[in-house]
Chains A and B, each alone.
Chain A
Amino acid sequence: MDLGAVVPEMILAALALVLVPVAGWARAPRWRTAPAVLAGLGVIAAMGFTAPMLWATPTEAFCGTYAVDPFRAAYQLLLELGALLTLPMLAAHFRGHAQEPHAPIAVLFALVGAMGLAASLDLGLIVLFLQMVSFPSYILVVLARTDRRAQEAALKYFIYGAVALAVMAYGLTFLFGLTGSLNLRAIGAGLAGADPAWVAVALGLVLVGYGFEATVVPFQFWAPDVFQGASAPVSGFISVVPKVAAFAGLLRLLLEAMPHGLSSWPLLLALLAAATMSWGNLVALRQRSLKRMLAYSSIAQAGYVLMAVAVAERAAGAFGAVGFYLLAYLFMNLGAFAVVAQVERAGGSDSLRAVRGLGRRAPWPAVALTLALLSLAGIPPLAGFAGKVLLLGAAIDGGMAWLAVIAAINMAVALFYYVRVVAEMYFAPEERATFAAPGAGYALSTVVATAGTLALGILPALGLVPIGLGTNLLR
């Protein structure tokens, strides 16, 4: 048995299973935070077991179905970090809520699924883990609130997800049919002689599933409603963990099963990237709800990342760029959601007006939100800037200068809606008191996310070194 290969996943899965009954018993108010704290400690322990794999020699476990390589380690660390940053603000947000003990469990289950997806080399496991990411996410959305909007969001998310993942599973059967194998590497060897038309069909169908998770146009329609309906910490989680997992899975699928740009996926992905970033940014311009705006922003950000995925085989730096950008995105996006969560909790609204005058009322959250938004807009010296330089450089290096130009135009347009929030916080005359809800959980998430955004921007090497380990050694 190769159980040594799945220690982090086992820790988290076991913890989640134990916490299910514990959450039922923990009814006294002072015990209600226990599951969140235990979950956090469990994630830290899992990170401790994941990190050494960054230096591992790439091998396979469980008859070639599960990868043990630095790529997996790097992406699993990203996912664990995302969950770890979400847990404190989730705990703060659900404080006193009936479902307070249950929220961290859903996070753990989703995390295990996401981590499995980053390591899967087998079509069956891919389907399984994709579902395992999605189901806890549906639950998190509806767990949040009892109001109709949350229920509608969860239902929409569920139906979209179920259909998208079913279509993707159908696409994977084509790959099996063409090659007679479920293993990505065997498929990669077998597809070379297959009928290109069927390969293209399979690729298109598979992209539906990954496109759904990563909010790639035209499979992004669920995101704005779900982000708005869910509570802000949950939206933050959904905007990060499933997305990172989808990019990890997509990279592995493309590079292992469809090497050498089979059925011209680089061009297809480049077009999708251009469409995704342009759609996200243009629609974000019109939003008045912060969560909805951040939803469209996260669609646009996915487009930027996809740009480097498209040149993953052609440009030496593309691989590192994707990983680094996702790391930067994780910090800045969760930082933004942490502050929005505070504002929402205090004022009951996430509209643009809700942050009016925040600069005076709550200077520190306002500074954190400003830094997160400027980083999303790509202003140096913040993490998003370093990431965008890497992405643009990769696109030009990969012979897609046109895509880099489209991305740069998009980044210029995007500044408008990010900065509008900043202007609302600092420039607009105050009308009423705007506060940010207090809570150590919010503060913890915000501080860590902001520190990460700043540190990665000033010294990108902090993130580039581990990411570089994880990318140079795939295959």
Chain B
Amino acid sequence: MLNAAIFLPLLTGLLSLAMPRRRADIVRFVALAGSVLTLFAALALWAGLDPAGGALQWRTTLPWIPAIGASYDVAIGGLSSALIVLTALLLTVVAAFSLRAEDRAHAHAFLFLLLGTGLIGLFAAQDLLLFYVFFEVALVPMYFIIGVWGGEQRSYAALKFFLYTRAGSLAMLLGFLALYLAMQPHSFSLPAIIAARPLRDAPFAAALVFFALLLGFGVKLPIVPLHNWLPDAHVEAPTEGSVVLAGLQLKMGAYGLVAILLPVLPGTVARFGWLLVALALISLVWGALAALAQRDMKRLVAYTSINHMAYVTLAVAIAAMTADGDVQRLALDGAAVQMVSHGLLTGGMFLMVGILQHQAGTRDIGRFGGLLGRAPVFSLLFGLLAFGSLGLPGLSGFIAEFQVIGASLVLSLWVAAVVVLTLVVTTGVYLRLLSCVLMGEPTAPPRLAPLSPRELWPVVTLIVLSVLIGVLPGLLVPAVNGASQLLARF
């Protein structure tokens, strides 16, 4: 079933390439059907997961490159399966949203589905080399998506995105190779490396590997000095590209931090814990303040993503630095919920912004006003997403941020104070957005067409899920357990 979930998108992607040339409608349908099937497979995985069964369920191990001890080794625990469901969900959302897209429909469908295979494989990979392969398989389609369907500066943005991530991932590859060579016998197997902790007695080598992996995951997350690609990529990407980029691709870095860096090098993460805390705080503040200064709505949402993902960095640092099991669990629970929640809310936010841009031809918040009276449904959804993103209780973002802030009290009151302060700033960001777009004098656009079903239902689904998690956090128990099971491994 897990292998089906990984390769279904790829197979339907290839199938959609084989469809007749001028029939974009069939291609769209195939893509949607493939995404829905993947979603069913992911939900079946989720349902079949034993909450107490550890992080290696549904495992498949096949020899892949026997000469160097790399294998096709996939398995999932709670966190992975939650992210796989999120991936399949957003793939479906994107496929539904793109039902009308005509321009090079075959390639469009294939690239998104290929990306889905890369992401699901990445969240399931238990072999570092396989993880790396899926990491890049998820990266290359996004390059083409930005470059082919993007805005004016698409070529530049796509190149920047590719170069940044590639530089990070090559550093990560060197780190993986060092871990591989440190193992006796040499092995890329993640469970084996976590069990053996090969660099335990080599602090210098461990530090080098730590920084190599941090660079790889940090570019993707992004952590602030490495974030420069993100605003351009988001702004130039087509709407559905932004949804996947923010909703899923940032999770690649987050997942790497939580599921690879932390369990493999817990001691080293603790040693550089304050560095991570500092980076997280800088990212929090930077993301919030930069978002406050934006007029372009996509850029604004992009910067708040930096702010939101910094909670994951902070949680990882806390989990490594404290010995208290409850606090560790609290922090990692928060990180896990934040990954899912951010995927839902920011994915929805980018959809809304895309719809607005499509109708009004601009994303400048100064050009909008008074939408509340003219487009009540749109305004309601937009408002819900914004409130969810700023951490209103009752939606999923609150649960995540509350937990991480609570855990951060262990480190220092000051850390928690800074985090809360940035919460105030992000609240300001979203309230400004809402007041500019929904309130005030009705200006542009003169008319806003009612949301079509392919626009409405994806957004509604995302919001409903976010509310469900916010009201019943127990829904995510498997994911949360997954995070703490990772903890149990070190």
Contacts and interface: CB of A to CB of B under 8 A. Distances in A.
Nearest to B154: A427
B136 A405 contact: no
Contact of A419 (B137, B143, B170, B180): B143
A419 B177 CA distance: 25
Contact of A412 (B158, B167, B177): B167
Nearest to A401: B178
Contact of B65 (A392, A404, A409, A460): A460
Given A374-B140, A379-B136, A385-B133, A408 B170 contact: yes
A430 interface: no
A182 interface: no
Contacts of A461: 64-67
A408 B171 contact: yes
Contact of B137 (A380, A397, A415, A464): A380
B162 interface: yes
A471 to B, nearest CB: 11
Contacts of A107: none
Given A401-B178, A426-B148, A380 B155 contact: no
B120 to A, nearest CB: 15
Interface string B82-119: 00000000000000000000000000000000000000
Nearest to B180: A393
Among A374, A397, A405, A426, which residue has the most Cβ atoms of chain B within 10 A? Answer: A426
B158 A427 contact: yes
Contacts of B181: 393, 396-397
Contacts of A416: 159, 163
A398 to B, nearest CB: 10
A468 interface: yes
Give the one of A374, A405, A423, A464 with max B CB within 10 A.
A423
Nearest to A360: B104
A426 to B, nearest CB: 6
B471 interface: no
Contacts of A390: 68
Contacts of A190: none
A386 B65 contact: yes
A381 B65 CA distance: 13
A289 B148 CA distance: 23
B368 to A, nearest CB: 30
A468 B159 contact: no
B374 interface: no
Q: Which of B65, B68, B148 has the most CB of A within 10 A?
A: B68
B140 A405 contact: no
Contacts of B147: 423, 426-427
A420 B158 CA distance: 11
Given A379-B136, A423-B147, A426-B147, A389 B177 contact: yes
A411 interface: yes
B129 interface: yes
B392 to A, nearest CB: 40
Interface string B152-169: 001100110011001100
Interface string B417-441: 0000000000000000000000000
Given A419-B159, A460-B67, 9 more contacts: A317-B67, A379-B136, A411-B166, A412-B163, A412-B170, A415-B166, A419-B162, A459-B64, A464-B65
Interface of B: 64-68, 129, 132-133, 136-137, 140, 143-144, 147-148, 154-155, 158-159, 162-163, 166-167, 170-171, 173-174, 177-178, 180-181
Interface of A: 317, 320, 374, 379-381, 385-386, 389-390, 392-393, 396-397, 401, 404-405, 408-409, 411-412, 415-416, 419-420, 423, 426-428, 459-461, 464-465, 468
12 contacts: A320-B67, A379-B136, A380-B136, A396-B174, A397-B181, A405-B174, A415-B162, A423-B159, A426-B147, A426-B148, A460-B65, A461-B64
